[in-house]
């Protein structure tokens, strides 16, 4: 038997990477979008009594990118883009929280390609579940849009008809299921 909860329970949580996903979308050739995800990531977050004092820390292994095309994945991890050999991890460390818990903005420092910039994640609390065996889980959806140029990701190709091969705006989407730590 399980009970569903509608408010974010206070506690320390670890991301369940089997039931979570970190993905991105970027415009390609000005006419389509390429989607990708990372297969190796992790993190923890604390939901505080005073929700504004909550915090999160996430690490993504940049070389774990998967777009469904091995050649493209190799190019993304090369020095043309985020140079995974020199910059193996992306990190997000929260600095503040705005909102009430059902929908909120998580502000923080996002480091990609060795460059740190402010990022604001728009977060939706999807619910909490307390199972009959005492396990507590929570779910969140989050999204932000960044400029890849802000992170030194400037590689591109001019298209013959105008425009660029790779768009500047990248949407990062996160689906998280996390388990409360004892």
Strands 41-47 and 55-61: antiparallel
CA atoms within 13 A on the CB side of 150: 13
What is d(CA 23, CA 20) in angstroms, rounded to the nearest whole number? 10
Predicted confidence at residue 138, as pLDDT, reads: 94
Residue 161: its pLDDT value, please? 80
Domain with 166, as residue range(s), is 2-180
Q: Is the dihedral of CA 182, 39, 59, 97 positive or negative?
A: negative
Residue of 145, 112, 139, 142 whose CA lies nearest to 25: 145
Cα of 161 vs its chain's centroid, Å: 33
Distance CA 172, CA 142 (A): 8
Look at residue 16 and tell me whether its pLDDT is greater than 50: yes
**For residues 43-64, b (16+ Cβ closer than 10 Å) or e, as one string?**
bebebeeebeebbbebbbebbb
Domain count of the fold of the chain: 1
Residue 57 tokens read as 């820390």
> pLDDT value at position 1?
42
Placement of tokens 């990477």 in the chain: 17
Q: What CATH number does residue 134 fall under?
A: 2.40.128.110
DSSP one-letter string for 11-26: EEEEE-GGG-EEEEEE
23-45 average pLDDT score: 92
pLDDT at 6: 57
pTM of the model: 0.89
């Amino acid at each position: 038997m399980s009970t569903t909860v509608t408010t974010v329970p206070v506690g320390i949580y670890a991301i369940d990477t089997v039931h979570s996903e970190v993905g991105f979308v970027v415009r390609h050739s000005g006419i389509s979008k390429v989607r990708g995800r990372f297969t190796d990531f992790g993190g923890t977050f604390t939901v505080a009594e005073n929700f504004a004092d909550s915090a999160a820390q996430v690490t993504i292994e940049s070389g774990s990118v998967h777009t469904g095309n091995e050649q493209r994945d190799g190019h993304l991890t090369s020095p043309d883009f985020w140079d995974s050999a020199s910059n193996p991890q992306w990190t997000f460390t929260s600095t503040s929280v705005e909102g009430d818990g059902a929908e909120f903005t998580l502000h923080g420092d996002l480091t990609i390609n060795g460059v740190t910039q402010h990022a604001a994640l728009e977060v939706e609390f999807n619910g909490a579940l307390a199972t009959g065996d005492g396990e507590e889980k929570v779910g969140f959806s989050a999204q932000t849009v960044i400029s890849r140029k802000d992170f030194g990701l400037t590689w591109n190709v001019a298209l013959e008809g105008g425009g660029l091969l790779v768009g500047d705006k990248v949407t990062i989407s996160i689906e998280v299921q996390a388990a409360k730590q004892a």
